[in-house]
């Protein structure tokens, strides 16, 4: 039996731990927007959207908690569970995207969630977990990618040696811009529809992934946040942020789930960078650091 209260308590605590740690680095507190859905709206529930904007380290950092219930699962949530199409559901999760100001500091994304749905007719509700984290650098560093993947692997090892390679490959497949034939970044781990070992095991795995975010990302941020840079690096950062926007709007199932289910648009789109740019057929100079990003980092590699 799913213990939704325990999941809620964990997720709210995770959001608080992450935002507190990031405020400690940036010096700017997160503004917390507590919201509830009107009783006349199709999606009921509440959440806390925590946003830090315009800080010296984070240009924009969003970390949101939500707990919502709806009359029918949207298509984005039933791709692998067609028997639950149209079933009433409840979903809880924490999702974050941090866009640092320095072009040498990578963007990071993390999401952990649980969905519970009642199948048509009689029967116990079905619960499953999903989430993961991935790293999107604008300038690539081998040690950063190795560290990030090492933390992801360590988080999953207690659940079986097959989990990291399987979830790493899943992440590579998922965070791929099909219209560009390009990886979003250096990847990480991703999993969905996870019910292996029942509720207790799935909940424990979700907690392991959530708890791994700070040790996976903060050492990288500390190394890169004060790196000297100029207009060239800033222009390239904004150009590459455009790819981030493209992925979130065209391919991301979480964005689609939120919008299709009538979710809170402002919170769903908090992952967008504050500034981004596009240029027609931007081609980095051969052998440049920008060219290295494409050739050495936006490719599928075994980092650990």
Domain of 235, CATH number, reads 3.40.1500.10
Among the ranges given (8-17, 36-45, 91-100, 144-153), the one the predictor scored with the smallest mean pLDDT? 36-45
What is the span of the domain harbouring residue 184? 4-297
The reply to whether 139 falls in a domain is yes
Half-sphere exposure of 233 (CA within 13 A, CB side): 15
Residue 42 has pLDDT above 70, yes or no: no
Residue 74 has pLDDT above 80, yes or no: no
The reply to whether 302 falls in a domain is no
Confidence of residue 18 (pLDDT cuts 50, 70, 90): very high
Q: What's the pLDDT tens digit per position in 81-138?
A: 667 777 888 899 999 999 999 999 999 999 999 999 877 665 677 889 999 999 999 9
Outline where DSSP puts E strands in the chain: 31-36, 44-53, 58-70, 89-100, 107-117, 126-136, 176-177, 182-183, 187-194
The answer to whether 147 is a known catalytic residue is no
Longest dimension (CA), the chain: 62
Question: Which residue in the list 80, 99, 109, 149 is annotated as catalytic?
Answer: 109
The reply to whether 303 falls in a domain is no
How many domains does the chain contain in total?
1
Cα 207 to Cα 173, 244, 277, distances in angstroms: 23, 26, 36
130 — phi, psi (to 5°)?
-160, 175
The reply to whether 120 falls in a domain is yes
Cα 205 to Cα 90, 148, 154, 237, distances in angstroms: 19, 18, 12, 33
The reply to whether 108 falls in a domain is yes
Q: How far apart are CA 149 and CA 74, in angstroms?
A: 32
Q: What's the pLDDT tens digit per position in 239-277?
A: 999 999 999 999 988 788 778 777 778 888 888 999 999
The reply to whether 254 falls in a domain is yes
In the chain, % of residues over pLDDT 70: 94
Task: Determine the length of the chain.
Answer: 304
């Amino acid at each position: 039996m799913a213990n939704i209260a325990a999941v809620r308590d964990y997720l709210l605590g995770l959001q608080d731990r992450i935002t507190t740690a990031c405020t400690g680095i940036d010096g700017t507190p997160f503004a917390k927007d507590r919201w509830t859905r009107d009783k006349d709206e199709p999606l009921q529930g509440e959440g806390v959207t925590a946003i830090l904007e315009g800080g010296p380290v984070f240009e924009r950092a969003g970390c949101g908690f939500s707990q919502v219930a709806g009359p029918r699962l949207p298509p984005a949530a039933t791709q692998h569970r067609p028997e639950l199409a149209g079933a009433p559901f409840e979903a809880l999760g924490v999702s974050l995207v941090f866009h640092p100001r320095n072009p040498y500091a990578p963007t990071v994304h993390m999401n952990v969630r649980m969905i519970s749905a009642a199948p048509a007719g009689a029967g116990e509700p079905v619960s499953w977990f999903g989430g993961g984290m991935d790293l999107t650098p604008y300038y690539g560093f081998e040690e950063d990618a190795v560290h990030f993947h090492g933390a992801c692997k360590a988080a999953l090892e207690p659940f079986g040696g097959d989990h990291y390679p399987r979830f790493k490959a899943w992440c590579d497949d998922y965070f791929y811009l099909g219209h560009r034939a390009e990886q979003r970044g250096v990847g990480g781990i991703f999993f969905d529809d996870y019910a292996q070992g029942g509720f207790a095991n799935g909940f424990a795995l979700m907690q392991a992934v959530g708890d791994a975010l700070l040790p996976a990302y903060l050492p990288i941020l500390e190394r890169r946040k004060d790196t000297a840079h100029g207009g060239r690096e800033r222009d390239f950062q904004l150009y590459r942020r455009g790819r981030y926007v493209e992925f979130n709007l065209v391919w991301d199932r979480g964005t689609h789930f939120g919008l299709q289910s009538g979710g809170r648009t402002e919170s769903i789109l908090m992952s967008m960078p504050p500034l981004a740019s596009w240029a027609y057929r931007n081609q980095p100079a051969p052998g440049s650091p920008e060219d290295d990003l494409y050739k050495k980092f936006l490719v599928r590699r075994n980092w650990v």
